[in-house]
Structure 1
């Protein structure tokens, strides 16, 4: 067992910026090669442990001694303000829960995201994608793929799934973007939380009065049947989490995946020639970008050893999922985009009890979008050089603010 007294990256403050949109920060490789666990500095002034290798990241994410409670004083936050203000009127969401509360809450809703239920959504998702590509083809060139396809498709899907009026999409997208921006000040962040919570509070109250055939409506009826009444606050919290996570992650993966495929025409031809390979392509793109890399942050609730390093109770841990997904001991030629890799043991969706609830939906949306986009617009190409594209270096979820394309 080793003890590291000083931060291993004395000249680096986390989160580190991706100097290349197709690769992790260069420091990740240096850290991973020099050892599995390192003491690092955060921009809030806090210190935490960074876990760099896939096997150790996966081990940490399945160990109940690492907590997801973001209100624990030791939890490692990547914003300048550090830990958030505790909101007395905001019920903990799935992402913040630990056992046994987490398991019980997840079981309440997991049935909404089974492969079978997602499969039933496929025709509607295909229709949504086709309608937006129709509009792109009928519109002017160049088109912004973010506003024309990447953002509206998953937004529409999650709105229909939850029962949120799509007419309000600009309201929640603006506030979602605010919450994900690491440079936003605390007052602005709190205001965005309040406004979203008030909106969803009214929405859930309306569904309690008249349950609709959507995820929230079905949850209300299910809770009444099983518990006698619906838990209003927990439903608001669930809607808050799913509304943000359900469109931001997939939207950014559509944009980034499109750029990567256009920049790797040989790889793109693989799925153009054989759409049966698109599911493997989606897995590889998820691994390749790992856009929500700090969703795997945790805090130790007791002393625990991992990767040969003792982590003390109350110390924060960054499970560097992007570093793990580029670990050469887990993925041969990990820095290359290989759509035929077929590796599903990545941690782009996290791992263990908190693995992404909506991963089946995300996979299906990405598969439908990529197959349809390149089938219907085979001559699609970037309308600006990659080094001029506005990547989201300031966001907790990596992506693009806009993506000009032509054909």
Structure 2
């Protein structure tokens, strides 16, 4: 007998009025049931949705799963994202050597050791911005005054992009992550940003500096190992991902913590680097700003949780659901997984993905967030929201979750 049950539309909307930090309640129901489910996405296709932590890791480590966005059946998040990837596809949307070789080229720039070496400089940036914040008027929008400048300044310095041009790449990045963007808008934004970065690469190939784009120009472009377009696309990926995700984590994490004064006090007074590092991992788990799922496609038949996924079937991995899985986060004496608890051991979260395609810049993000949350509440102990949480505009309209604005005072 045919199953005529209509697949549920995905992604689902959060119940922001109940709790703006929680994933949709339906995901929790499906996770508890355990089975994979078909969901219906924007183009009418019905990929499999994976909600459990264990199953998500199994999919992302399976040899028959593909990240290649050119594969038939790949469940693109929207027509606009499909168009952008067609114009500006990077190694993150590829498999095998096409992914592994470029990743190795960049990996040495983002090792844990190199990112730890930047801690002192990140601290200087954070302190300077907080000093400027305290000297200015209040209330102030923490997004524009602090959350966005911290990672933008850092990624600009690493890549060799003039921070004076931050309005350009921040404007274009917003087009990339807005769910309302059209294919024409995202393609035009990609064209503009690629040409912007390519111009920098041209200049650095002649007069290199001590930055990532200069190294790529000298070691990859000049010898002909990569084309101008390939280097520019790589720069686009690093520039947009390097500021957009951390900026949203800073603002959203601040909003979440300000509703939990006991945890803020522990964070502010502890002085324990291990607790601070753990708090950042817990924030990454609890918030999971990549909230529309990682997208994959099966390149061969495969079985997950007793479900046969056929070759060509799309797969959506609900990271926000997996990060609330009680089977994965069941620390004794710690609150349940739907609570924010900075004493939790949460390093095995999925916020950076899992397997060979996990986030290249995760070590930079960790250091940035540790410095930010280890400094912000210590320097401004009376920091508070300047408007009720229910008045804050959350980014349910974006592919990266966060807040559009966060008015704070002290």
Give the TM-score of the pair, scaled to structure 1.
Answer: 0.94
- Structure-2 change in CA distance of 1:229 and 1:188 (3 Å): closer
Structure 2 residue 390 is the aligned partner of structure 1 residue 391: no
Give me the whole-angstrom Cα distance separating, in 2, the residues matched to 1:86 and 1:146.
28
Q: Which has the higher mean CA deviation after the structures are superposed, 276-285 or 229-238? A: 229-238
- For 1:225-264, list aligned pairs within 5 A: 230-264=226-260
Structure 2 residue 291 is the aligned partner of structure 1 residue 293: yes
- For 1:80-229, list aligned pairs within 5 A: 83-84=82-83, 87=86, 90=88, 92-223=89-220
Measure how far apart 1:81 and its partner are. 5.8
Give the TM-score of the pair, scaled to structure 2.
Answer: 0.93
- Structure-2 change in CA distance of 1:49 and 1:230 (3 Å): closer
8 A contact 2:79–2:183 mirrored in 1: no
- Structure-2 change in CA distance of 1:255 and 1:108 (3 Å): same
Give me the whole-angstrom Cα distance separating, in 1, the residues matched to 2:329 and 2:386.
33
Measure how far apart 1:233 and its partner are. 2.4
Runs of 5+ unmatched residues, structure 2? 331-335
Measure how far apart 1:123 and its partner are. 1.7
| 2:376 match | 373
- Structure-2 change in CA distance of 1:330 and 1:259 (3 Å): same
RMSD over aligned CA atoms reads 1.9
8 A contact 1:4–1:39 mirrored in 2: no
Measure how far apart 1:296 and its partner are. 2.1
8 A contact 1:39–1:50 mirrored in 2: yes
- Structure-2 change in CA distance of 1:129 and 1:184 (3 Å): same
Helix, strand or coil at the partner of 1:71 = coil
Helix, strand or coil at the partner of 1:331 = coil
Give me the whole-angstrom Cα distance separating, in 1, the residues matched to 2:188 and 2:119.
36
Give me the whole-angstrom Cα distance separating, in 2, the residues matched to 1:388 and 1:21.
11
User: Of residues 12, 17, 20 in structure 2, which corresponds to 1:16?
Assistant: 12
Helix, strand or coil at the partner of 2:316 = strand
8 A contact 2:323–2:349 mirrored in 1: yes
8 A contact 1:383–1:405 mirrored in 2: yes
Q: Which has the higher mean CA deviation after the structures are superposed, 71-80 or 164-173? A: 71-80
8 A contact 2:39–2:46 mirrored in 1: yes
| 1:76 match | 75
Structure 2 residue 318 is the aligned partner of structure 1 residue 320: yes
Measure how far apart 1:16 and its partner are. 1.3
8 A contact 1:71–1:86 mirrored in 2: no
Measure how far apart 1:5 and its partner are. 4.4
8 A contact 1:57–1:319 mirrored in 2: yes
Runs of 5+ unmatched residues, structure 1? none
Give me the whole-angstrom Cα distance separating, in 2, the residues matched to 1:82 and 1:264.
36
Structure 1 residue ranges, 4+ long, deviating more than 4 angstroms after superposition: 3-7, 85-88, 227-230
